[in-house]
Amino acid sequence: MAAIDTPVQLKAVAAPGQPDVTPELEQLYQGFERELLVPLWTEIGDLMPAHPRSRAVPHLWKWDNLVRLADEAGHLVPVGRGGERRAIALANPSLGGRPFATPTLWAAIQYLMPGEDAPEHRHTQHAFRFVVEGSGVWTVVGGDAVPMNRGDFLPQAGWNWHAHHNASDRPMAWIDGLDIPLQYVTEAQFFEFGRDEISDAERITPRYSRSERIWGHPGLRPVGVAHTTPGSPLLAYKWEHTNRALADQLELEKQGYAGTVEPGHAAVRYSNPHDGSDVLPTIRAEFHRVARGAETTPVCETGSSVYQVFDGSGTVTVGEVSWSVTRGDLFVVPSWQAFSVRSEAGSSDSDSGALDLFRFCDAPVFEALQLNRTQIDK
Ligand code: GTQ
Ligand code: FE2
């Protein structure tokens, strides 16, 4: 398969449906090369495949290893202006060592030591935080201090000023998702440094951010509050709501009411309370709960996903590979590779006995381009 950055090298080849290699044909190919021309017939299999063939491969990162290395970095590498964040990205093994979990998505573990601040900046890349363990960090978005606790999801659309501060006496880790790889190919990124220090008025630790107090009441849209910037105006989706939504779905299913994706599989999508759309222009985020002993149907989708196991344990199958997963583990589902999970009965450490999965993916981009496709199994 020709990579995009290998030099053009054309050769006359004997192949079915192609003329025999003659001196004239070789000369023709040399002419193409000289004039920087490439005929379709030598490239078509790679450029226009019958179905998606992802460059990314399925891969699993164990949370224990990530946290251990992040903690080592916490002791050895300062966080400050320039590097901006103590964030360590997942690098898909088949994407050339770049810090890209998939061709479109960045996923990283970020770590702040007690009392540390990550300086203010803004960028066009859309971002979110998801918290699998710990508390004590506030992310300050446009001057609004937003608390981060286990199970909380915090979207942060591009071009908002943001900084983070750890107000506790313990280190804290969380995951970041951004559309860095996607924006990298668009060549349309912008970045600005903000203030080196946030003000004392922002270094507060409220239980609810202003954004949650305005936008965070279920089914109630504030009247007279404009929202004109991209992405969700709600800066935190607290665990209590997500957990209750999923528990209710599964409980009602047991009582014979519809409302789950499939038997034993409940899911919610984080949505923009302003208009019901995805929380970020380029990233969709969901939470899935697979009841103890239940199994999901293998599904292929265009576009790629990153999952983090929030709780429980089970077996994940992506394309040809299967892994045992437990709390905190992160894995990648490349485009058009069949994905299914089985929640392992008995071995689960979650409250509900279920396998809980946080998911983010690039579906809004594929839907906008009308390239979204789903197929049950392959
Ligand atoms: O926290 O602002 O993982 O700007 C990558 C880029 C986190 C952040 C990342 C970022 C951030
Ligand atoms: Fe940032």
Residue 195 and residue 66 share a domain: yes
What pLDDT does 283 receive?
98
Residue 205 and residue 72 share a domain: yes
Helices and strands (H, E) in the chain, number of each type: 7, 21
For the chain, the domain total comes to 3
Q: Tell me, in angstroms, the distance from the centre of ligand 1 to residue 176's CA.
A: 7
Q: Domain range for residue 198? A: 59-215
Residue 103 and residue 82 share a domain: yes
Residue 156 and residue 98 share a domain: yes
What pLDDT does 3 receive?
47
Q: Please list the pLDDT of the chain residue by residue as tens digits (378 residues).
A: 444 555 545 566 667 778 889 999 999 999 999 999 999 998 998 999 999 999 999 999 999 999 999 999 999 999 998 889 999 999 999 999 999 999 999 999 999 999 999 999 999 999 999 999 999 999 999 999 999 999 999 999 999 999 999 999 999 999 999 999 999 999 999 999 999 888 888 888 999 999 999 999 999 999 999 999 999 999 999 999 999 999 999 999 999 998 999 999 999 999 999 999 999 999 999 999 999 999 999 999 999 999 999 999 999 999 999 999 999 999 999 999 999 999 996 544 566 789 999 999 999 999 999 999 999 975
Reduce the DSSP state of residue 363 to 3 states and report it.
Answer: helix
CB-ligand 1 contact for 348 (6 Å cutoff): no
Q: Is residue 233 part of a domain?
A: no
Which pTM does this prediction carry?
0.94
What pLDDT does 203 receive?
86
How far apart are the C-alpha atoms of 128 and 107, rounded to whole Å?
Answer: 10
Residue 69 and residue 32 share a domain: no
Angle at 261 between CA 276 and CA 53, to 5 degrees: 85
How far apart are the C-alpha atoms of 203 and 187, rounded to whole Å?
Answer: 35
Q: Is residue 159 part of a domain?
A: yes
Domain of residue 162, CATH code: 2.60.120.10
CB-ligand 1 contact for 85 (6 Å cutoff): yes
Residue 273 and residue 175 share a domain: no
CA 114 to chain centre: 27
Radius of gyration (C-alpha) of the chain in whole angstroms: 23
Q: Is residue 111 part of a domain?
A: yes
How far apart are the C-alpha atoms of 81 and 310, rounded to whole Å?
Answer: 32
Contact status, residue 347 vs residue 313, Cβ threshold 8 Å: yes
Q: Give nearest CA residue, ligand 1 atom 1.
A: 85
Q: Tell me, in angstroms, the distance from the centre of ligand 2 to residue 56's CA.
A: 24
Q: How far is CA 101 from CA 57, 105, 266, 304, in A?
A: 9, 6, 26, 9
CB-ligand 1 contact for 338 (6 Å cutoff): no
Residue 164 and residue 77 share a domain: yes
Q: Is residue 220 part of a domain?
A: no
Residue 294 and residue 203 share a domain: no
How close are the terminal C-alpha atoms of the chain, in Å? 23
The residue to mutate among 146, 178, 306, having the most atoms of ligand 1 within 8 angstroms of its beta carbon, is 178
Residue 192 and residue 65 share a domain: yes
How far apart are the C-alpha atoms of 311 and 82, rounded to whole Å?
Answer: 35
Q: Is residue 335 part of a domain?
A: yes
Q: How far is CA 230 from CA 100, 192, 223, 301, 316, in A?
A: 24, 18, 19, 25, 34
Contact status, residue 174 vs residue 129, Cβ threshold 8 Å: yes
What pLDDT does 5 receive?
55
Q: Is residue 223 part of a domain?
A: no
The ligand 1 atom nearest the CA atom of 156: 2
Residue 276 and residue 180 share a domain: no
Q: Is residue 229 part of a domain?
A: no
Residue 76 and residue 27 share a domain: no
Residue 249 and residue 190 share a domain: no
Q: Is residue 4 part of a domain?
A: no
